[in-house]
Amino acid sequence: MKRTPVVFIHGVWLHARCWESWAARFTSMGFLALAPGWPGEARTAPDVRASPEPLGRVGLDALTEHYAGIVRSFDVAPVIVGHSVGGLIAQHLLAADVGRAAVAIAPAPINDVPLPASPGRLLPPGRCGPAEELVTLSPEQFHQVFAHTLGAEESDRLYDRYAVPAPRRLLADLGCAGAPRSPRAVADVGNAGRGPLLLISGQEDRLVPDEATRAVYKQYGDTTAVTDLKQFADRGHSLVVDGGWRFVADYVLGWLDEHGIRAHPPQG
């Protein structure tokens, strides 16, 4: 019997392994769970930190095409679950009728929704740097912007296992530090024929504030396609990897079931 694929897309400053608990949980519920890394991403976060240069070539165009190819490769249309820039890509693909449904968790803003100031503050001084430059967070910065709702010990553990540098090219494509936002940082909010979309925010998120996700939700206000918003109180940008990840994952599983998206699609 065929299983419904779920493709997980991670965001900036995290490795694809950040989805390991989610993939195990979705697999245990019968889904075909996959968390493919970015182009050039090494097997583990420590491997990436040791040799990060291949990530420097990754921009939003390449990233979007990479995951579009993966999603289109299945016989059964996948669910797309994305965090941060992965949430932006999930919306872009779903709006282009690629994928069956999408979940965008603390997504980088789409269209003309203003970009939060936080990511730009993390860039090195000056707007113009080498296109392939990498922007690395220190453990202290990671705790400050990603994991400030956690204790230092948990934040450091997450940093060691999952944190990787981010491509300046990609941050520029998102509009950081005043750069012009890429044409790929869009989603057709008026597409009434697309699959269901769930937007999720952490109300204490410093990197993608709750207000930014609410502003994105309002952009979908005129469509008849299913668009839902779930806000998690007291949660920061680390909500997909910290000790409370299971609450978020199980909410997503319940939402999918509510909309008739189950591990084994009807045969016929």
Give the lowest-confidence range in 57-71, 113-127, 194-208: 113-127
pLDDT band per the 50, 70, 90 thresholds, residue 117:
low
- Does the pLDDT value for residue 184 go beyond 70? yes
- Does the pLDDT value for residue 125 go beyond 80? no
pLDDT tens-digit series, residues 148-183: 999 999 999 999 999 999 999 999 999 887 788 899
The structure's pTM equals: 0.95
- The stretch 50-54 carries a mean pLDDT of 94
What secondary structure does DSSP assign to the chain, as a single string? ----EEEEE--TTB-GGGGHHHHHHHHHTT-EEE----TT--SSHHHHHHS-GGGGG--HHHHHHHHHHHHHT-SSPPEEEEETHHHHHHHHHHHTT-SSEEEEESPPPPTTSPPPSHHHHTSPSSS---TT-EEPPPHHHHHHHTSTTS-HHHHHHHHHHHB--EEHHHHHHTTGGGPPPPTTS---TT-TTS--EEEEEETT-SSS-HHHHHHHHHHTTT--S-EEEEEETT--TTTTTSTTHHHHHHHHHHHHHHTT--SSPPP-
- Mean per-residue pLDDT of the chain: 93
pLDDT tens-digit series, residues 199-247: 999 999 999 999 999 999 999 998 999 999 999 999 999 999 999 999 9
